[in-house]
């Protein structure tokens, strides 16, 4: 992986971009990329979550970070995840506070 990065995260379109903060300043082994910056086509209406998982795995990401844990209730998404080596990171009780979300994500990273 580039520059000693050992964990690559793809941030779903519903997860906030880090405004004015660089994750590499906190941990140089983790790279977080917002899906819009990676492939804006994946943010179009109607793109199923399972397709996002397939592309994330194909493009070398280790995990997808999302606010919507209900994605894991959908049979197609579960089937794709069961057949890929990728993780979905979410919260059972999401909160609408970007600072808290990033704080939780950073606190629970390896």
Domains along the sequence of the chain with CATH = 2-107 (3.40.50)
pLDDT tens string 24-48 = 777 888 889 999 999 999 998 888 9
- Name the pTM for this structure: 0.87
For the chain, give the mean pLDDT: 86
Tell me the sheet residues that pair with 31: 8
At residue 95, the pLDDT reads 78
């Amino acid at each position: 992986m580039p520059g000693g990065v050992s964990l690559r995260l793809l941030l779903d379109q519903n997860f906030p971009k880090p405004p004015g903060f660089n994750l590499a300043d906190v941990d140089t082994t983790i790279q977080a990329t917002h899906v819009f910056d990676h492939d804006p086509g994946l943010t179009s209406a109607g793109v199923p979550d399972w397709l996002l998982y397939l592309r994330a795995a194909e493009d070398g990401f280790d995990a997808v970070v999302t606010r919507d844990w209900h994605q894991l209730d959908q049979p197609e998404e579960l089937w794709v995840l069961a057949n890929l080596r990728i993780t979905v990171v979410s919260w059972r009780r999401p909160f609408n506070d970007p600072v808290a979300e990033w704080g939780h994500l950073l606190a629970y990273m390896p």
